[in-house]
Amino acid sequence: MDLEQIKEIEKDKYMKLFRRSSVCFERGEGSTLYDTNGHAYTDFFGGIAVNSLGYNHPDLVKAISDQASKVMHVSNLYYNIPQAQLTDKLAGDTFERVFFCNSGAEANECAIKIVRKLAHARGNGKTTIITAHQSFHGRTLATVTATGQEKYSAPFAPLPGGFKYVPFNDLKALKEAMTPDVGAIMLECIQGEGGLMPATYDYLVGAYAYAKQKGVLLILDEVQTGSGRTGKFYAFEHYGIKPDVVTLAKGLGGGVPIACCLARGEAANALGPGDHGTTFGGNPLACAAANVVVDKLLNTDLLEKITELGDYLSDSLAEKISRHKFVLDIRGKGLLKGVQFDERIPVASIVGKMMSLGVIVGTCGRNTLRLAPPYVITRAEIDDMTDKLETILANINI
Ligand SMILES: Cc1ncc(COP(=O)(O)O)c(C=O)c1O
């Protein structure tokens, strides 16, 4: 099937949801994707921060194939070995309990249900969750409502209640929003979709302390920043805090859909039999994949490599493009970086030009380029990407 045939099928038969680039990828190796015409692209977007170990990683492929030949799915009515192994790796230390599901939105749904169930169990009416402007928490009705960007939720009214929104990185506003009905604060350590905007140290540490003081939960949505992306297993480790609930997805399965909600303290025991569930979540195939990713992050020097490569990426961007008058800011941590451009340079045009030079990059927030390459990206690939970005910027005449 060639690209034109694929586009023809999609045009009439797939829901009109995505503005896709005119390319079809068929295979990958390391950080390189190949399209159906055999063209190679270095992937600095990683399937939106998903392909943590790159493409065709031998250990991941082996674990998935071995597991597929044994059993891919059993329901959560029974035990399965990969799930028990993954549970043991993720829970027990920082967090007491974990629940596995399939997507970031689902993991956040679990976190939201924990808040509401706890409020009902305590009979204190603390069901409201404070979230931040420009946040992103998913596309289900509850998580799109949690998302502090009306453009995502307004078309789907009526929306569920129970959320209120505050400006990000504004501790005073957060404190002012703390009414007696609030049971949790839900934040991202770095707002991803919102424009790669890091929570300041004082803000996140302050929010943590204030949540503790008020007896409300701190939920951190680490769907994008977790699973090693910033050079720590959880991004909150950079802040020296310990949230009550954290959610992971994206990079956790290295490309296989798996997500989780981790909780400690009362939050860990808020949900009981029948309160929540999933058919696919935590099945042996997905957990076998996540076991490989988590083992590499926790038992090898991968986290240090992510930090080193992230610093190298920052330096390379700083050296080659920061002086450019259209570059307003370069920010982010580890292998999650944003480059914000002057509005006169639409970021989509940069993405298109990079693509035509064989480099995949993404966008987010306000005219910001998003870089979230696989953790196996090399220094040579980083040099090549920043060279191309520099060339593109050098040729802009306005
Ligand atoms: C911070 C954050 N939370 C939640 C989600 C939703 O995850 P999913 O698309 O897997 O449902 C995303 C997706 O981009 C995200 O970046």
CB-count burial class (<10 Å; 0-12, 13-18, 19+) for 86: buried
Q: Check pLDDT > 90 for residue 181.
A: yes
The mean pLDDT of 146-167, rounded to a whole number, is 97
The mean pLDDT of 183-209, rounded to a whole number, is 98
Which residue CA neighbors atom 13 of ligand 1 most closely? 138
Smallest CA-to-CA distance from 102 within 285, 306, 264 is with 285
Instruction: List, for residues 82-94, the tens digit of each pLDDT value.
Output: 999 999 999 988 9
The whole-number pLDDT of residue 92 equals 87
Question: Which atom of ligand 1 is least distant from the CA of 48?
Answer: 14
Instruction: List, for residues 293-339, the tens digit of each pLDDT value.
Output: 999 999 999 999 999 999 999 999 999 999 999 999 999 999 999 99
HSE of 81, CA atoms in CB hemisphere, 13 A = 5
Q: Check pLDDT > 90 for residue 398.
A: no
Q: Quick one: what percent of the chain has pLDDT higher than 90? A: 98
The whole-number pLDDT of residue 93 equals 85
Question: Do 3-57+301-394 and 71-299 share a fold?
Answer: no
The mean pLDDT of 249-258, rounded to a whole number, is 98
Please tell me if the CB atom of residue 226 comes closer than 6 angstroms to any atom of ligand 1: no
Cβ atoms of residues 114 and 263 within 8 Å: yes
Q: Quick one: what percent of the chain has pLDDT higher than 70? A: 100
Options 3.40.228.10, 3.90.1150.10, 3.10.50.40, 3.30.470.30; which CATH number does 3-57+301-394 get? 3.90.1150.10
The domain defined by 71-299 folds into Aspartate Aminotransferase; domain 2 (3.40.640)
Which residue CA neighbors atom 4 of ligand 1 most closely? 137
pTM, two decimals, is 0.98
Run of H or E residues at 376: none
Please tell me if the CB atom of residue 284 comes closer than 6 angstroms to any atom of ligand 1: no
Please tell me if the CB atom of residue 253 comes closer than 6 angstroms to any atom of ligand 1: no
Q: State the average pLDDT for the chain.
A: 97
Q: Check pLDDT > 90 for residue 288.
A: yes
Structure tokens, 112: 């939201």
Q: Check pLDDT > 90 for residue 81.
A: yes
Question: Which atom of ligand 1 is least distant from the CA of 105?
Answer: 11
The whole-number pLDDT of residue 71 equals 98
Please tell me if the CB atom of residue 105 comes closer than 6 angstroms to any atom of ligand 1: yes
**Cα dist. 141→157, 160, 163, 184, 328 in Å?**
9, 7, 12, 18, 34
Domain parsing of the chain, residue ranges: 3-57+301-394, 71-299
